[in-house]
């Protein structure tokens, strides 16, 4: 059997399914985040949260805290752990909650409570209960790329992260710094700035990438 679908099957699929996810980049330090569960998946979620947003305020509630989880949490003063079962008032004051326990019924229960309170929710084992999905993240200094497969294959998202991470030069952040400085120094009205920045990026990006190509061919 072929791994790839026929054109007819593809057309049928696009009729019934669509990718409606709207991507945003959250300033997580402006939220109050609750993480329930501190096992394998809890650790993955905490890693994603603190790697991207080390100043985020995160309350963790879990009956059992793994040693690796505790070790990571200890490095971030804004991560506060309660080692006990979830209780309703854990949701007080929360704006975002990530559920990563091994208890599906508990997730359903917290989902109902969170809905009543308008809390944004991510539920690790149940895409249907999620308001938001976490993505795979490529980070090069100020550049951040979020990858989603619409929940179809987190593993592919992870692989794409590796490909982009290896493929994008670290120097891309220098280009960003240069452009930021130019953007600050430009005088004139909005349309002049837009025109100027578009002209400059056409050559600046090409030139920097050429340099990088040159450097990498020297290494070879």
Ligand X SMILES: C[C@@]1(CC(=O)O)c2cc3[nH]c(cc4nc(cc5[nH]c(cc(n2)[C@H]1CCC(=O)O)[C@@](C)(CC(=O)O)[C@@H]5CCC(=O)O)C(CC(=O)O)=C4CCC(=O)O)c(CCC(=O)O)c3CC(=O)O
**Interacting residues toward ligand X by CB under 6 A:** 44-45, 48, 122, 124-125, 127, 130, 133-136, 148-151, 153-155, 157-158, 161
Q: HEC profile for the chain? A: CCCCCCHHHHHHHHHHCCCCCCCCCCCHHHCEEEEEEECHHHHHHHHHHHHHCCCCEEEEEEEEECHHHHHHHHCCCCEEEEECCCCHHHHCCCCEEEECCCCHHHHHHHHHHHHHHCCEEEECCCHHHCCCCCCEEEEECCEEEEECCCCCCHHHHHHHHHHHHHHCCCCHHHHHHHHHHHHHHCCCCHHHHHHHHHHHHHHHHHHHHHHHHHHHHHHC
Q: Which is nearer to ligand X, 155 or 211 (CB)?
A: 155
**Which residues bind to ligand NAI, rule: CB under 6 A?**
36-42, 61-64, 85-86, 100-103, 106, 124-125, 154
Q: Which is nearer to ligand X, 46 or 175 (CB)?
A: 46
Find which of ligand X, ligand NAI, none residue 29 binds, CB within 5 to 8 Å per kind: none
Q: Which is nearer to ligand NAI, 121 or 124 (CB)?
A: 124
- Smallest gap from Cβ 196 to ligand X, in A, equals 37
Q: Which is nearer to ligand NAI, 36 or 147 (CB)?
A: 36
Q: Which is nearer to ligand X, 149 or 201 (CB)?
A: 149
Find which of ligand X, ligand NAI, none residue 179 binds, CB within 5 to 8 Å per kind: none
Find which of ligand X, ligand NAI, none residue 151 binds, CB within 5 to 8 Å per kind: ligand X
32 Cβ contact partners less than 8 Å away, ≥ 6 residues apart:
57, 59, 93, 94, 95, 96
- Smallest gap from Cβ 120 to ligand X, in A, equals 12
Find which of ligand NAI, ligand X, none residue 174 binds, CB within 5 to 8 Å per kind: none
- Smallest gap from Cβ 39 to ligand NAI, in A, equals 2
């Amino acid at each position: 059997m072929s791994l790839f679908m026929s054109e007819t099957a593809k057309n049928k699929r696009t009729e019934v399914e669509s990718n409606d996810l709207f991507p945003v980049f959250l300033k997580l330090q402006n939220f109050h985040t609750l993480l329930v569960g501190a096992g394998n998946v809890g650790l993955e979620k905490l890693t994603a949260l603190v790697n991207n947003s080390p100043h985020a305020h995160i309350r963790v509630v879990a009956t059992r805290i793994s040693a690796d989880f505790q070790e990571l949490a200890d490095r971030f003063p804004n991560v506060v752990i309660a080692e006990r079962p979830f209780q309703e008032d854990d949701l007080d004051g929360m704006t975002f909650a990530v559920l990563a326990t091994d208890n599906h019924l508990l997730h359903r229960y917290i989902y109902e409570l969170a809905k009543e309170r308008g809390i944004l929710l991510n539920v690790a084992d149940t895409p249907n209960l999620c308001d938001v999905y976490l993505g795979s993240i490529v980070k090069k200094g100020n550049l951040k790329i979020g990858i989603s497969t619409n929940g179809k294959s987190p593993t592919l998202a992870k692989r794409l992260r590796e490909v982009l991470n290896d493929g994008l030069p670290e120097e891309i952040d220098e280009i960003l710094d240069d452009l930021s400085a130019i953007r600050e120094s430009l005088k004139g009205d909005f349309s002049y700035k837009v025109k100027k920045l578009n002209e400059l990026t056409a050559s600046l990006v090409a030139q920097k990438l050429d340099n990088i190509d040159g450097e990498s061919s020297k290494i070879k």
